[in-house]
Structure 1
Amino acid sequence: MFTPASARAASAYRTLSVQGGVEGATPHQLIVLLFDGLLASIVQARGALARGDIAGKGRLVGRAVRLVQEGLKDGLNEEEGGELAANLGRLYDYCSDRLTYANLHNDDAALAEVAALIQPVAQAWKEMDVKSVPGPGGLHA
């Protein structure tokens, strides 16, 4: 479902200063870190919006969109991941659209919506036992 240690996702991760290191991370760990960075960016963007820091909110929402598109979505492999990967791709597109809307309209509710949509997916990734995932169609650990 995800490409092996996607160079593009790793690059997005490094570029956007997500917490922790990416060196030596497995593809599964990288996805978990991308989710963590995405959720942290949304929380920080909501805080910036509440403080009236519109420039800061814009930077943080921009980071969140890049994590979704360049990290999570670009890491999908629809050939191996099938319907699940396609559904995740649609979710990521929707989240990117809502983040962009939130940025343009200073809409805290849209930011909260994206966090609520991503949180269960992020939690599922954290709980996933990579060793039990089959090779073809699963993660390439």
Structure 2
Amino acid sequence: MFGSAQNGAKAYAKVGMETGVIAANPHKLIVMLFEGAQIALMTALQQMKAGNIAAKGQAISKAIMIIDNGLRASLDKSVGGDIAIKLDALYEYMSNQLLNANLKNDPALVEEVQGLLEEIKGAWLAITPPEQNVQNLMSNSSTIQQNGTAAYDALAPRTSTLMKA
């Protein structure tokens, strides 16, 4: 009569992700794309080790879609100049490496792309816009633990970034 607990958890996670996407600024959306690609690659490695060829192929395909249709498509070469052109080439390289990883069942190629994505994500995080840092501080101020470090609570109320008319 009712769905399984696992289906409920998946639905809850999907709503949380969709809400995060709607509320995110462009900088945060790129971070979410990096995280999505990394999760897909971790899944691909797990499925590769388990010998589950179909699930490995799906995970690699998902990572390629995120890289090509998300990260690569978001580049504006007319504004980004040389950096955008080089990132475009690097994203194309990553997609090709993932295609080869899928065909050859080679975890080393997946791990190489994971490392490249992690480096680019780190650089992207280093240029977080100042207004986002302020928003993060404001939204995390209510979740400061006793030891003084901020904890993430997905259910905690957040300060709205919407302006009233």
What TM-score bracket applies, with the shorter chain setting the length? 0.7 to 0.9
**Cα shift readout 1:20-57 (whole Å, capped 9, x = no counterpart):** 23102111000000000111111110010000011100
Superposed displacement of residue 102, structure 1: 0.6
Higher Rg: 2
Q: How high is the TM-score relative to the length of structure 2? A: 0.66
Superposed displacement of residue 66, structure 1: 0.2
The alignment's C-alpha RMSD in Å is: 1.5
Q: How high is the TM-score relative to the length of structure 1? A: 0.77
| Alignment match, 1:60 | 59
Q: Distance in 2 between matches of 1:54 and 1:113?
A: 20
Supply the AA of the counterpart residue of 1:76.
L
Superposed displacement of residue 67, structure 1: 0.2
Any unmatched runs of 5+ in structure 2? 1-13, 132-165
Q: Report SS of the residue matched to 1:129.
A: coil
Supply the AA of the counterpart residue of 1:115.
Q
**Cα shift readout 1:67-123 (whole Å, capped 9, x = no counterpart):** 000000000000000000001001000000000111111111110111111111111
Structure 1 segment 59-138 matched on structure 2, within 5 A: 59-131=58-130
Between 1 and 2, higher relative CO (CA 8 Å, sep ≥ 6) is seen in 1
4+ runs deviating over 6 angstroms: none
